[in-house]
Amino acid sequence: MSLNPTKIRTLVRRLGYQFNDISLVELALSHRSIGANNNERLEFLGDSIVNFLMAEALFYKFPDCREGELSQMRAQLVKGATLAEIAIEFELGDYLNLGPGELKSGGHRRESILADAVEALIGAIFLDGGMDSCRQHVLTWYQSRLLAISPQQSNRDAKSLLQEWLQSKGRGLPKYLLRATTGSDHQQLFDVECQVEHLQQSFTGSGSSRKVAEQVAAQAALDFLQL
């Protein structure tokens, strides 16, 4: 099923980017439930691009942050829930091309489908207009989030999210173990391991304090659980 050209033009205006090849928009909005000609390849491309663009933006915004802190903030910005929020801001669910089964089950509201569509649109903009144009538009979409994010705000989220999820599943709280401390007194690096009940692997994190390292490890666990 093809999307209505008028609807595509309306979405393009909302996105703030004028496509040279409008077929890329339709492809980006086409879920795999419609068949082989879907957005999975564009999603793969867009996932890499948004990770790079957020890493680049954070690198310049926080020149004093360590790698672990930057990684944690990036994870907050590119996780599925954040991408889905962006999709909702554009009312993207109204424009998705879904198969009958996904349409009936409310796929236009499903977080994973919305997030994938945003990544696919980012991939489409990159193919259509190049990296500079893609960077400009993605940073515009993320402007308020980039202004609001901080190492402290990001650190607070990961541990609480992991704890809340485990409690909702009736599982024990995660354990955080300090594995190593390196560096001078004024520039120490802490390595922490996070152990989660019922999971066969542990998760590690590094940071300029034990608290930061614990949050990085918690985020690694969240990424593994795809939360």
The catalytic residue positions are 47, 119
Buried b (16+ CB within 10 A) or exposed e, 20-50: eebebbbbbbbbbbbeeebbeebbebbbebb
Q: In Å, what is the CA distance from 103 to each residue of 1, 33, 96?
A: 12, 9, 9
Residue 96, Ramachandran bin (φ over 0: left; ψ between -120 and 50: alpha; else beta):
beta
Give the whole-angstrom CA distance, residue 72 versus residue 166.
Answer: 20
Scan for tokens 């599943």, then name that residue: 169
Cβ pair 212, 146 in contact under 8 A:
no
Comparing C-alpha atoms, which of 144, 133, 110 is closest to residue 24? 133
CA count, 13 A, side-chain hemisphere, 139: 13
